[in-house]
């Protein structure tokens, strides 16, 4: 689907962006834990967002 619209370089860059988004999401979980202000819902949502973007990144890398 995306391989017809984007070049290999563009797919690789998009996968990198998704990985970066996942890392930022994970960092937003780790920092509140470090300062003892973590909320359970925030932790679950942050992990979910991280996993979704990491999986999407892997799928993009597989397509190219």
Q: Is residue 3 part of a domain?
A: no
Domain total of the chain: 1
The predicted model scores a pTM of 0.75
Q: What pLDDT score does 1 carry?
A: 61
Q: Give per-residue pLDDT as tens, 17-47.
A: 999 999 998 888 878 877 877 788 878 888 8
Q: Is residue 47 part of a domain?
A: yes
Q: Is residue 1 part of a domain?
A: no
Q: How far apart are CA 9 and CA 29, in angstroms?
A: 31
At residue 38, φ and ψ (nearest 5 deg) are -75, 135
Helix axes 8-34, 40-63, angle to 10 degrees: 160
Domain carrying residue 23: 12-63
């Amino acid at each position: 689907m995306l391989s017809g619209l984007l070049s290999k370089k563009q797919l690789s860059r998009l996968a990198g962006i998704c990985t970066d988004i996942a890392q930022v999401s994970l960092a937003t979980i780790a920092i509140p834990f470090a300062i003892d202000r973590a909320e359970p819902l925030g932790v679950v949502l942050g992990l979910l967002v991280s996993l979704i973007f990491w999986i999407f990144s892997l799928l993009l890398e597989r397509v190219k």
